[in-house]
Structure 1
Amino acid sequence: MTGLFEGKAALITGAGSGMGRAITLRLVGQGASVLALDIDADRLVETKALAAKALETETIETEALETARVAGTVSVRQADVSDPGACAEAVAACVAEFGKLDVLGNVAGIYLAEHTTKVTVEQYRRVMAVNLDACFFLAQAAIPYLLETGGNIVNIASNAGLQGVPYSAAYSMSKGGVVALTRSLAVEFLKTPLRVNAIAPAGTNTNIATSGSFPSGMDPDLARRMAGLRGLAEPEEIAALFSFLASADARSVTGAVYTVDNGLTVS
């Protein structure tokens, strides 16, 4: 266990599963105090239990090696990030509990695969609200606190926001917006210590990738564009990059969009 985030406070959305859970566990293991946010309360309980188990294991190992133990903490909060009010309340709750905010991780997201002509207004609005609007409103609420701590924001975008992906127009729009938001905020606060970066994964071994459904009648030749030649990434790989970008090791990195897609975007 390292103390890369010792004394730091982080707010991570989508922390009940997948990338959000992996990021939460990694930051806690590196000494951070994390407020884990998700719409699914049961999954948050699982995340907290996994964090406690990991910390207990690390305690035993570090005691055996007679080395210093740096332990993080995790608190959980159920919230729907599509609600701007819930976003502001979550930031306030994080600061109230930990006294500050150093890292905002906009990880929560939903995927929609459908023929564009069949996407309903409700489906479109939900995708945009969770994937893009939440990033904006969480950042808006968090920035005053991040400016105080010289903190940073890491957004989870997608390779779908960088290249054309069939049957994913709404999703691609939302993630392209995350990329634009990242770059815009990075420039707006370029003369401050605040940094804003994004990670753009492709297929990753999460609930979205393993249980998602695809529209009937889709063209298999076009669908092949969605799959890389080297398979899926693991959530822990995204968490490792997130940890770097959110840490002082990346103090010169802002406005960057890192692809983690096994070469899919460039192929």
Structure 2
Amino acid sequence: MKRFQGKVAFVTGAASGIGLATMARLGREGAQVYAVDINAEQLAREAASLAGEGLAIRNLALDVTDEAACRAAIAACVAELGKLDVLCNIAGMALTKNFADVSAADWDRVMTVNTRSVFVLCQAAMPHLLETGGNIVNISSAAGLQGLPYNSAYCASKGAVLLLSKSLAAEFAGRGVRVNAVCPGAVDTPLVKDIQIPEGADMSLYGRMFPLTPYFAQAEEIAGAVAYLASDEARFITGSALVIDGGQTAI
């Protein structure tokens, strides 16, 4: 399929996991992808590999906690590629701690990476998306729909992303810009693999953190959902929360 032929997509968190899979998926479907990540070396390697397949990938090192840099990156994308059709906010971080051990600095870091960056990039991108009738796909989480133990900051940040997405969808539906969220559960990515169980955790509470199925989702499966929501096939979908969690939130 070439659903994104002639389209320009901006993808954050593109060096690994869901961001990398989305960069590859959109590129293979014909998009010019402007990919960003804080891990400049890994991003450059992955982008070069995809460019070797003939995909149109540009990459830029970006710390999404830097507001000025985020706004400049959107401006650079439009200046270099001429427009912006799709914004995919995928960069994020996890924090698993006993609530008593979550510092104000921890809280601020999670909210800045996971939530404020989404706000800043959506705001910077919106004038360009209004010009193209484009759309936004934000990565929320099943943890934005359902409380998980030892994840207070993460749940709060992802719940905020979901409601930010719905608010923007309502505000801009009549102006031709769609905004949707994807809510993955457990996905086989470095972010999930690096999660550490906090000291003294009640293991009986962990049952709700895993899917009913005996396996985790693959990043490519989530990227497929992102691509669908970003494509013209989903032209009547806005303000949605597409849950991909193996049944985690079904119980």
TM-score, normalised with respect to structure 1: 0.92
Query: For 1:251, which of 214, 235, 240 is the aligned residue?
Result: 235
Specify the alignment match of 2:26 in structure 1: 27
1:163-215 per-position Cα deviation (integer Å, ceiling 9, x unaligned): 01000000000000001000000000121110000000011010011122120
Equivalent residues in 2 for 1:10-49, closer than 5 Å: 10-49=9-48
Specify the alignment match of 1:63 in structure 2: none
Specify the alignment match of 1:104 in structure 2: 87
**Cα shift at 1:261:** 0.4
The secondary structure found in structure 2 opposite 1:189 is helix
**Cα shift at 1:28:** 0.5
Q: Percent identity?
A: 46
Letter in 1 for 2:123: Q
**Cα shift at 1:149:** 0.2
Specify the alignment match of 1:208 in structure 2: 191
Specify the alignment match of 1:119 in structure 2: 102
Paired with 2:201 and 2:25, the residues of 1 have a C-alpha distance of 38
Letter in 1 for 2:153: A
The secondary structure found in structure 1 opposite 2:131 is helix
Aligned length: 250
Equivalent residues in 2 for 1:221-260, closer than 5 Å: 221-230=204-213, 231-260=215-244
Say yes or no: does 1:130 pair with 2:129.
Answer: no
The secondary structure found in structure 1 opposite 2:249 is coil
Say yes or no: does 1:6 pair with 2:11.
Answer: no
Paired with 1:80 and 1:209, the residues of 2 have a C-alpha distance of 20
Structural RMSD (CA)? 0.9
TM-score, normalised with respect to structure 2: 0.98
- Unaligned residue ranges in structure 1 (runs of 5+): 56-71
Paired with 1:100 and 1:82, the residues of 2 have a C-alpha distance of 24
Query: For 2:165, which of 174, 182, 188 is the aligned residue?
Result: 182
Query: Bigger radius of gyration, 1 or 2?
Result: 1
Letter in 2 for 1:13: T
Say yes or no: does 1:219 pair with 2:202.
Answer: yes
Say yes or no: does 1:77 pair with 2:76.
Answer: no
The secondary structure found in structure 2 opposite 1:25 is helix
Paired with 1:221 and 1:212, the residues of 2 have a C-alpha distance of 17
Paired with 2:46 and 2:120, the residues of 1 have a C-alpha distance of 24
Say yes or no: does 1:148 pair with 2:139.
Answer: no
User: Structure 1: which 4+ aligned runs deviate by more than 6 Å?
Assistant: none
